[in-house]
Amino acid sequence: MKLSIIIPVFNEEKTIGEILKRVIAVDLGKVDKEIVIVDDGSTDATASEIKNQSASWRTKVKNVKVLIHRKNQGKGAAVLTGIKASAGDYIIIQDADLEYDPLDIGKLLVPILEKRARVVYGTRLNRLPNFTKDEKEFLFLIHYLGNRFLSLIASVLYGQWITDIETCYKLFPKKAVDRIRLNAKGFDFESEITAKLLRQGYRILELSIKTKPRGYQNGKKLNTVRDGSSALWTLIKYRL
């Protein structure tokens, strides 16, 4: 089996080098690994940092593709570009901001390899709010509540319990997205792909993962109100 790891990146010069090192180093056993990097019109030194890692992947990874958007189009657009260029049997999305640990990719692959699931999400939110850690900051609490609300709406509309619809770690078969048209350009991609996978009859298995959330002062790009409203409408319109 081959796994395509799609890394959409926009202005992440401080973290892209380290996340590439971690993704390159992760051992997936007998699963072949393909890395697809999509630079979504970065205006900082992201491109240079990607180039600096080229020596590492030549000796450690057989297949690495670097694709470039000349203008910033949004995370969804970057992921779609990566999907179209992917050659793997399965696809997983990896954010470039160090919030997610690539070591969890192997964990998410286990139920796929054991044929217990066809779609696996890594959930951060199969828990109550942690007021001593992540949710002690107001913006993170709002993000937690907004995500749980969207996940509840998705669960009601599509008939399957989901706790973290906005998770980056979505592992799904390439053939599933080859059959559907994905339109979202921004963060509403998360809702669209979930809705359309469920509409196709795929069941989503969630496995708990741990993350290190990045603060807005360090470059976090998600806007809870704007992006949450777009995600909510996306869930509703694809159910109608």
What residue segments make up the domains of the chain, in order of their start?
2-237
The pLDDT tens digits of the residues spanning 156-182 come to 999 999 999 999 999 999 999 988 888
Question: pLDDT tens for residues 199-230?
Answer: 999 999 999 998 987 655 555 556 666 777 88
**pLDDT higher than 60, residue 68:** yes
Tell me, what DSSP letter sits at residue 19?
H
| Residue bearing tokens 């002690």 | 136
Nearest Cα to 185, choosing from 12, 40, 16, 50? 40
Residue 175 and residue 18: Cα distance in Å, rounded? 31
CA dihedral (184, 188, 190, 192) positive or negative:
negative
What pLDDT digit, counting tens, does each position of 37-67 carry? 999 999 999 999 999 888 777 777 788 999 9
**Measured distance CA(211)–CA(106) in Å, rounded:** 15
pLDDT tens, residue by residue, 102-149: 999 999 999 999 999 999 999 998 877 777 777 788 778 888 888 899
Is 2-237 a CATH 3.40.190.10 domain? no
- In angstroms, the CA 34 to CA 24 distance is 9
| The predicted structure's pLDDT at residue 220 | 56
Q: Are 134 and 213 in contact (CB under 8 A)?
A: yes
